[in-house]
């Protein structure tokens, strides 16, 4: 069986040892970092272009949930009591 069917670090190890595996892992880490930066950039574009507070909160919460790998996210904030008397 040739190396054509192998992928990832297993193939790297079969094709040349530790140096290849380390390069493969570095490439994977770089891809992950690139994905994170692209996500943050999209969020920045949303923040700059959106005035609706509810949409902004949803966007920030969604990105934070995605980047942390959480199953769900939420944003809680306190509304100051009204200064008007009832």
Q: Any idea where the domains of the chain sit in the sequence? A: 3-68
What is the structure's pLDDT at 15? 55
- How much is the pLDDT for 11? 57
Contact call for residues 50 and 59 (beta carbons, < 8 A): yes
Residue tagged 């009832």 (tokens): 86
The tens digit of pLDDT for each residue in 19-76 reads 889 999 999 999 999 999 999 999 999 999 999 999 999 999 999 999 999 999 998 8
**Structure tokens, 12:** 């790297």
Per-residue pLDDT, 16: 59
Can you tell me the distance from the alpha carbon of 68 to that of 27, in angstroms, rounded to the nearest whole number? 21
**Digit-coded pLDDT (tens) for 10-20:** 555 555 567 88
């Amino acid at each position: 069986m040739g190396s054509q069917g192998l992928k990832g670090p297993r193939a790297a190890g079969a094709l040349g040892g530790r140096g290849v595996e380390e390069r493969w892992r570095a490439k994977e880490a770089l891809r992950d970092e690139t994905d994170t930066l692209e996500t943050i950039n999209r969020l920045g574009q949303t923040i700059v272009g959106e005035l609706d507070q509810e949409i902004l909160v949803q966007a920030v919460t969604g990105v934070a949930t995605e980047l942390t790998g959480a199953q769900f996210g939420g944003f809680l904030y306190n509304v100051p009591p009204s200064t008007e008397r009832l």
